Structure 1
Amino acid sequence: MQLSIQSLAAIAIDLQSGLSQRDRFQRLINSLRQLLSCDAAALLRFEGQQFTPLAIDGLTQDVLGRRFALGDHPRLEAIARAGNVVRFPATSDLPDPYDGLIPDHGSLKVHACIGLPLFAEQDLIGALTFDSLNPMQFDRFSNEELRLIGVLAAGALNNALLLEMLEQQSFTPLTTTSANSTGAPEEMIGLSPLMQQLKREINIVAASDLNVLITGETGVGKELVTRAIHQKSSRASKPLVYLNCAALPESVAESELFGHVKGAFTGAIQHRIGKFELADNGTLFLDEIGELSLSLQAKLLRVIQYGDLQRVGDDHNKRVNVRILAATNSDLKQAVVDGLFRADLYHRLSVFPIVVPPLRERVSDIALLAGFFCERCRIKLGLSQLTLPPATLARLEHYAWPGNIRELEHAVYRAAILARATQNSTELELLPAHFNLQAESLPDTVNTALPETIIQADLATMTQHFQRNVIYKTLAECDMNWAAAARRLHIDSGNLHRLAKRLGLK
């Protein structure tokens, strides 16, 4: 055997170490890539007829954000349908999902590829993939050796999935999962500490029946948070009803919320059920809740307090059981102070407040999100390849994204259209020029020495001056990469952005 018992035993022991699941998977992939001396390795989870990368080594960072649907990737489909080791010959005409995604190798094609389907009993739960630019790299390894690797990985992945089910205590039936335009389940992309915290909060509150106030800037994904809470709740099999309060004319707002009876007003030619009745036993999502008038706020408060409502023009009350998820990009606390929002309604809605962080505070997630949108765009445009070189990812990470995730998604699609027009190929590379983003800039030189006037100032001023210059210098040394600068300074990326904003650097 080319693989020694000692090396496999070391990997097995490593998988039992006291690390997080993500770190454990990453260590597994790093060890296996080194063991097989290949150019790239990946551990993928299988769910909903698609593969989701859990850990990668030797591939560009945006791969972690890509989702590989079986119908769009014939090699991965072959792995999913196999019950054994799959070896793709160097002459295979099946496109490799990682072509163009191995750093520093440009458009070179993968020449050797191995896939190991991972099973829990008879169910496919994931796969291992190994790729090499050397067409004979894997010839010296037997299928028996590779199957041993697969058993180790399958056990680790299955344990992680079981733990995830226990921790989340999800009530979601598979049939109620919402889908996007590609048919894949919606999800929140991101591995940053802020996103991990957000997902924990969602899992905590979803299992309860509390009302939730979701706040955040435009484009951060508040609606996606709403869907996640609903899908993980005991109401998942019931309706999730959406209402945009900002788009409601005052004249019809009450009818939209509570319904009306025939003849209640001019134009009421038949009975109409309102959003509350439609959401009975389910969830009502009130988007832009801060735009509701004070009179409607009072009526909404009554329904939340007592669970009964009156249709417009009706003398009878109706009982409803509705969970309220409200969202806003405005400061409702300040609106209460200004008399524009009822304090009692605010406290009823914000039983469990959730703040969705802006994209500029989770810079490490930008590559993942860009990869996710690239894969969607590639399929929509019928492309065989859509890649993001390092210079482009650096530019995306330097931009402040005032429109957040929605702006990033539109930017990727726009860049792909421009690239297709100029590159005249089905294998496109999105260059910085295709995005037309103004990256943040710093002075060419930075002096960390304290001037005499600063030395004579108070300690706080001197500290701020020193911090400002150290951040300047570190960013310059990291080619304006905020995430890399944060790692060098041993500080969370989000905290670095907040500190830079406070110091007047952003």
Structure 2
Amino acid sequence: MTTSEWLRTLVPLVADLPQDIPEAERYRRLLHTLRTLFPCDAVALLRLEGDSLLPLATDGLSRDTLGRRFKVAEHPRLKALLDAPGPRRFAPDSPLPDPYDGLVDGLHGHLHVHDCMGCALQVEGKAWGVLTLDSLRPGSFSDAHLDVLQAFGSLASATVGAAMRINRLAQLAQSEHLRAESYRRAAGQPERPLLGHSPAFKRLLKDIDLVGASDLTVLVTGETGVGKELVAQALHARSPRADRPLVSLNCAALPETLVESELFGHVRGAFTGAVNDRRGKFELADGGTLFLDEVGELPLAVQAKLLRVLQSGQLQRLGSDREHHVDVRLIVATNRDLAAEVRAGRLRADIYHRLSVYPLPVPALRERGRDVLLLSGHFLEDNRSRLGLGGLRLDAAAQAALLAYDWPGNVRELEHLIGRSVLKALGRQQPRPRILTLTDLDLGLPQAQPAPIARPAPLPSAPSAMGLRQRVEAVERQLVQDTLERHAHNWASAARELQVDRANLVRLAKRLGLHHPK
């Protein structure tokens, strides 16, 4: 490539610097230009976060790469790039393992990366991350390419800096998240990021950003295993209380006789075995956030005391008449239909309305499309690191099986499946391979059944003389009624599910002869 061609290739990137371009698109253009300038099969942009490098954008690598975390201490090539004062090229016969072996997109078999080079990126005077370039052909890179990469690295750093300045609010939210993570690490809880690119997941993130900054009580709902606790952690991290404790309690994990003590504390002698005064979860969370999982399991007697705390912030420890005041933001979660629990008499109506100020449904994994591959990449990297493997990947049939499965156990089921499948695959390969590929046989998922022939839903019973308009209105009326019942007649939540404006839903209900709020 001549100097003039090289400059013409870079001009669009320079022109993009002052523009308000989405971060993902900015990085995509950066990597596209990189592949145009250099003879490579794959490129990646990774950000340094703690002791790991997180892929932000890739071109030429398998989709699950974006879900991985590359611990710097476990990947000597990445560490060498971070430590080097400038770009570095690795010889084709370098003994250092390449982190992308087996991850180059579209390959069949275990063809390893042969040529690799990259550079560290400095942004605002600090190490920000790395750019990596990989080729399957030995000798693709030369020392002359290092000079070009030196210049391109400066432009890449400017591109990242522009994205950081334009997205300063997003960076602030991230810093709050990191402060919240320090509390979880102090409590011995592993870091578990929220991962996903699907429309359903992006809507969830938007809701988290919206309500996280408030002090509203949030009711997180969803099937078992969707990650409701992770959502609660994200809500806390985005709140003004992020630098205060996040305290969790699983209401279903305790016998009924201990729930009150766990929530509100007790004094010495309150019951057999109470040898000392003890603060409850509400006092421990004072100034921060209390997360109550499986809140539908709370006994009715405890619900009355919980209501008092929510109304006034006042509580009494078990066995004491002394008042304690607490300032706590409450997040609760359940996989039950709380409106049905109210109708069955197992949940007080007043506590239900206090807990469901902002309902936040978490989508099931089957509703998140290709997010299953992103999450699989994250779990694969966890297992690769834990088992000391050089590489861990999914073949095409395994990816197809993951996409076709219904996931009744959601993300938790996927995590357990990946861990189990890795061990099964290791057991059938002797000697132990450097790069392990999981097949659909290792996953052991049931074969997808052919989709049934779609038939129109039966219309509500009606006189045979009913015309088309009346039949359409009957279907609309039934749909609105069913949706309102699922959301306990919360019109805002029902409107979100039906993807209409709340005011429009009210007008539609009025036209259909349904009860609507005044």
The TM-score range, normalised by the shorter chain, is 0.7 to 0.9
Distance in 1 (CA, whole Å) between partners of 2:7 and 2:468 is 60
2:155 — aligned with what?
A: 152
CA contact (8 A) 2:249 2:293 kept: yes
Distance in 2 (CA, whole Å) between partners of 1:255 and 1:443 is 51
Distance in 2 (CA, whole Å) between partners of 1:31 and 1:420 is 39
CA contact (8 A) 1:179 1:186 kept: no
**Residue 206 (structure 1) shift:** 2.2
Distance in 2 (CA, whole Å) between partners of 1:53 and 1:94 is 20
Distance in 1 (CA, whole Å) between partners of 2:412 and 2:115 is 37
Aligned counterpart in structure 1 of residue 84 of structure 2, from 65, 82, 85 = 82
Judged with a 3 Å threshold, the aligned counterparts in structure 2 of structure 1 residues 141 and 365 are, in CA distance, closer, same or farther, namely: farther
TM-score (norm 2): 0.82
CA contact (8 A) 1:217 1:358 kept: yes
Aligned to 2:153, the other structure's residue is in SS state helix
Confirm or deny that 1:191 pairs with 2:193: no
Distance in 1 (CA, whole Å) between partners of 2:390 and 2:376 is 17
Distance in 2 (CA, whole Å) between partners of 1:382 and 1:217 is 33
1:218 — aligned with what?
A: 224
**Residue 34 (structure 1) shift:** 2.9
Structure 2 counterpart of 1:316, one-letter code:
R
1:432 — aligned with what?
A: 440
Judged with a 3 Å threshold, the aligned counterparts in structure 2 of structure 1 residues 220 and 79 are, in CA distance, closer, same or farther, namely: same
Aligned to 1:234, the other structure's residue is in SS state coil
Q: Which moved more, 1:168-177 or 1:392-401?
A: 168-177
CA contact (8 A) 2:177 2:234 kept: no
CA contact (8 A) 1:401 1:407 kept: yes
Structure 2 counterpart of 1:172, one-letter code:
E
CA contact (8 A) 2:248 2:292 kept: yes
Judged with a 3 Å threshold, the aligned counterparts in structure 2 of structure 1 residues 70 and 386 are, in CA distance, closer, same or farther, namely: same
CA contact (8 A) 1:192 1:365 kept: yes
Distance in 2 (CA, whole Å) between partners of 1:154 and 1:27 is 14
Distance in 2 (CA, whole Å) between partners of 1:18 and 1:265 is 63
Q: How does 1:438-453 map to 2 (within 5 A)?
A: 438-442=446-450
Structure 1 counterpart of 2:234, one-letter code:
A
Distance in 2 (CA, whole Å) between partners of 1:299 and 1:310 is 9
**Residue 20 (structure 1) shift:** 2.1
CA contact (8 A) 1:216 1:358 kept: yes
1:125 — aligned with what?
A: 128
Q: Deviations over 1:7-65 (max 9, x none)?
A: 11123335666642112212321232133231001111111121111111111100011
Aligned to 1:273, the other structure's residue is in SS state coil
Q: How does 1:335-346 map to 2 (within 5 A)?
A: 335-346=341-352
1:172 — aligned with what?
A: 176
Q: Which moved more, 1:186-195 or 1:131-140?
A: 131-140
Distance in 2 (CA, whole Å) between partners of 1:111 and 1:2 is 26
Distance in 2 (CA, whole Å) between partners of 1:269 and 1:203 is 44
**Residue 326 (structure 1) shift:** 0.5
1:241 — aligned with what?
A: 247
Confirm or deny that 1:405 pairs with 2:407: no
CA contact (8 A) 1:15 1:28 kept: no
Q: Deviations over 1:454-497 (max 9, x none)?
A: xxxx989xx9xxxxxxxxxxxxxxxxxxxxxxxxxxxxxxx9xx
**Residue 369 (structure 1) shift:** 0.5
Aligned counterpart in structure 2 of residue 21 of structure 1, from 20, 23, 26 = 23
Distance in 2 (CA, whole Å) between partners of 1:250 and 1:27 is 58
Confirm or deny that 1:161 pairs with 2:161: no
Aligned to 2:40, the other structure's residue is in SS state coil
CA RMSD of aligned residues (A): 2.7
Confirm or deny that 1:252 pairs with 2:258: yes
Aligned to 1:172, the other structure's residue is in SS state helix
Distance in 2 (CA, whole Å) between partners of 1:181 and 1:90 is 45
Aligned to 1:429, the other structure's residue is in SS state strand
1:36 — aligned with what?
A: 38
CA contact (8 A) 1:182 1:376 kept: no
**Residue 114 (structure 1) shift:** 1.2
**Residue 232 (structure 1) shift:** 2.6
CA contact (8 A) 1:116 1:127 kept: yes
CA contact (8 A) 2:225 2:410 kept: yes
Q: Deviations over 1:341-383 (max 9, x none)?
A: 2222222222222111110000211111101000000111111
Q: Which moved more, 1:430-439 or 1:18-27?
A: 18-27
Distance in 2 (CA, whole Å) between partners of 1:167 and 1:342 is 39
**Residue 196 (structure 1) shift:** 1.8
Structure 2 counterpart of 1:441, one-letter code:
Q
2:12 — aligned with what?
A: 10
Judged with a 3 Å threshold, the aligned counterparts in structure 2 of structure 1 residues 28 and 173 are, in CA distance, closer, same or farther, namely: closer
Judged with a 3 Å threshold, the aligned counterparts in structure 2 of structure 1 residues 373 and 206 are, in CA distance, closer, same or farther, namely: same
Judged with a 3 Å threshold, the aligned counterparts in structure 2 of structure 1 residues 217 and 434 are, in CA distance, closer, same or farther, namely: same
CA contact (8 A) 2:51 2:71 kept: yes
Judged with a 3 Å threshold, the aligned counterparts in structure 2 of structure 1 residues 7 and 269 are, in CA distance, closer, same or farther, namely: same
Q: Deviations over 1:170-228 (max 9, x none)?
A: 36285542349999743111111222222222222222222211111111111111111
CA contact (8 A) 2:178 2:237 kept: no
Q: Which runs of 5+ in 1 are unaligned?
A: 449-457, 464-494, 496-506
Distance in 2 (CA, whole Å) between partners of 1:64 and 1:459 is 50
Q: Which moved more, 1:198-207 or 1:64-73?
A: 198-207
Q: Deviations over 1:326-347 (max 9, x none)?
A: 0111111222233322222222
**Residue 140 (structure 1) shift:** 7.3
Q: Deviations over 1:266-292 (max 9, x none)?
A: 332222211111111111110000111
1:95 — aligned with what?
A: 97
Aligned to 2:370, the other structure's residue is in SS state helix
CA contact (8 A) 2:124 2:161 kept: no
Task: Using the aligned pairs only, state the percent identity.
Answer: 48
CA contact (8 A) 1:216 1:357 kept: yes
1:453 — aligned with what?
A: none
Structure 1 counterpart of 2:250, one-letter code:
N
2:308 — aligned with what?
A: 302
Confirm or deny that 1:51 pairs with 2:53: yes
1:482 — aligned with what?
A: none
CA contact (8 A) 1:79 1:86 kept: yes
Q: Which runs of 5+ in 2 are unaligned?
A: 456-466, 473-498, 500-518
Judged with a 3 Å threshold, the aligned counterparts in structure 2 of structure 1 residues 98 and 135 are, in CA distance, closer, same or farther, namely: same
Confirm or deny that 1:108 pairs with 2:111: yes
Aligned to 2:176, the other structure's residue is in SS state coil
Distance in 2 (CA, whole Å) between partners of 1:49 and 1:389 is 29
TM-score (norm 1): 0.84
Aligned to 1:375, the other structure's residue is in SS state helix
Q: Deviations over 1:95-132 (max 9, x none)?
A: 11100011233211111111121111321112211100
Confirm or deny that 1:136 pairs with 2:136: no
Distance in 2 (CA, whole Å) between partners of 1:397 and 1:367 is 8
Confirm or deny that 1:267 pairs with 2:269: no
